[in-house]
Structure 1
Amino acid sequence: MPWHYIGSCPDGERFLLDGVNVWDAPWHDTRRHARIFDPLYQQPMVFGVYELRLPARTITFAAGEFSNCVWGFFREAL
């Protein structure tokens, strides 16, 4: 399934997914991978797929480092 870019940020900087700061909850590794393209250079990359498991819902996303401590975030296309 295709993934779409939702944003990037430096390590630890506030980044919201569905209103939740990704750095405030543990990331659960799904052992899946997402083939994505760097939005700036269109370079193919492979990022891990993670879940934020909250009491009322689970947020699934792909994340990885574009460069040292600069994280990119993707969601599955609907």
Structure 2
Amino acid sequence: MSWVYSGTMSGQSFHIHEIDIVKEKWIDTGVRAQVEDPLYGVIKTCPIWKVKKNNQEITFVAGEFSNNVWVIYTKQS
């Protein structure tokens, strides 16, 4: 599966498919994905998370690349 950089957050809201993932419980899928750091271009291995809300489930990759700075990736369309 291919993941694309979606943005960086530091505690503020972050929406994927109209769901603010900051306000929801992240469920660790136990699977990891390799993604490219958007700033330095190095490959990092990060957890694949899922969030469930209102009968909708979204999956994303998130890694804390700096203190409380999360980089978010979503599935490539």
The alignment's TM-score, normalised by the length of structure 1, stands at 0.91
Report the count of equivalent residues: 77
Q: Percent identity?
A: 32
1:29 corresponds to: 28
SS in structure 1 of the partner of residue 55 of structure 2: coil
| CA deviation map 1:1-57 (0-9, x unaligned) | 2210000011x2111111111111100110011100001110110110011111221
Give distance in 2, aligned partners of 1:46 and 1:75: 14
Give distance in 1, aligned partners of 2:73 and 2:33: 9
2:54 corresponds to: 55
Paired AA for residue 40 in structure 2:
Y
Give distance in 1, aligned partners of 2:70 and 2:57: 20
Stretches of structure 2 lacking an aligned partner (at least 5 in a row): none
Give distance in 2, aligned partners of 1:48 and 1:64: 7
Structure-to-structure mapping, 1:1-78, within 5 angstroms: 1-10=1-10, 12-78=11-77
The alignment's TM-score, normalised by the length of structure 2, stands at 0.92
Give distance in 2, aligned partners of 1:62 and 1:75: 6
Give distance in 1, aligned partners of 2:54 and 2:28: 18
